[in-house]
Amino acid sequence: MLLIAGLGNPGSQYAGQRHNVGFMAADAIHRRHSFGPWSKKFSALVAEGRIGGEKVLLIKPQTYMNNSGQAVGEAMRFYKLEPKDLIVLYDELDLAPSKMRVKLGGGSGGHNGIKSIDAHCGNPNYKRVRIGIGHPGDKARVSGYVLGDFAKADQDWLEPLLDAIADNAELLCKGDDAGFMNRVSLKVQGKGSEPASAPASKPKGQSHIRQARPSQPAINVPQTGPMAAMLKKLFGSKNS
């Protein structure tokens, strides 16, 4: 069994932020591989499924980023998993946007979610999928940058990247990290070289960021009665 943890902050106000790209990647894998429904366990949202022939538990800690290790460590102890069974998806300031790297072990690179997992797991030798978000260029601006939403222009690379991670997750689970990185890189480069009009057939509102946000209820506009008459006076008839 493998544990794949996507890191982020819980709540709709954080859903589109750069710091939540780990959540977005976990959601993309969840949809692509038809995992079971999310449920609450281990101070996290968890879902079970299979990628290739491997049983996988997806986990999105709901402890906020700085305490991610609390949820991950609890799940690992419950299932008696070792660091080699853990894969963590998270945002990486030191990689350019659209770039992705896989590494085994190493330091936290200043990422508080990784620091927390290191502390709770007691061993840093787990696999990290580092998803590049770029650096604002000034250390003083880092906090505001990672907690800022992805720009509209970022969708040109973000959508293909998340889709490629999900589509090729079987390679990652099998330990073919080089093959996984190569496939993802080719997918992102290919998407970037397509004409701008190519994605037009995708229905509006289906981006990974939009799917991460709760849907808003529809507003019912009265068609008859005093309110309808007032609206027609203000805005005119729909057919005019």
- Catalytic residue status for 19: yes
Alpha-carbon distance 164 to 170, whole Å?
11
Contacting residues for 199 by C-beta, under 8 A, at least 6 apart: 159
Above 80 in pLDDT, residue 230? no
**pLDDT tens per residue, range 47-61:** 999 999 999 999 999
Neighbours of 186 (CB within 10 A): 12
Residue 112, marked binder: yes
Q: Which pLDDT does position 77 carry in this prediction?
A: 96
CB 173 within 8 A of CB 129: no
DSSP letters spanning 14-67: GTTBGGGHHHHHHHHHHHHTTPPPPEEETTEEEEEEEETTEEEEEEEESS-GGG
Supply 170's token pair. Answer: 């079987």
What is the side-by-side order of every strand in the sheet holding 44-51? 39-41, 44-51, 54-61, 2-6, 86-92, 127-132, 100-104
96-121 per-position pLDDT tens digit: 999 999 999 988 888 999 999 999 98
Contact (CB, 8 A) for 85 and 102 = no
Please, where are the H alpha helices in 43-200?
Answer: 68-78, 112-121, 142-146, 155-167, 169-174, 177-192
Q: Where are the domains of the chain?
A: 2-212
Region 51-74: mean pLDDT is 96
Q: Which fold has domain 2-212?
A: Rossmann fold (3.40.50)
Residue of 19, 30, 111, 208 with catalytic role: 19
Q: At 189, is the pLDDT very low, low, confident or very high (cuts 50, 70, 90)?
A: confident
Eight-class DSSP state of 175? T
- Split at pLDDT 50, 70, 90, the class of 44 is very high
pLDDT band at 210 (very low <50, low <70, confident <90, very high): low
Has 64 been labeled as part of a binding site? yes
Main-chain dihedrals φ then ψ at residue 113, nearest 5 degrees: -65, -40
Look at 20-34, 56-70, 214-228 and tell me which has the smallest mean pLDDT: 214-228
CB neighbour list of residue 31: distance below 8 Å, 6 or more residues apart:
166, 211
% of the chain with per-residue pLDDT over 70: 79
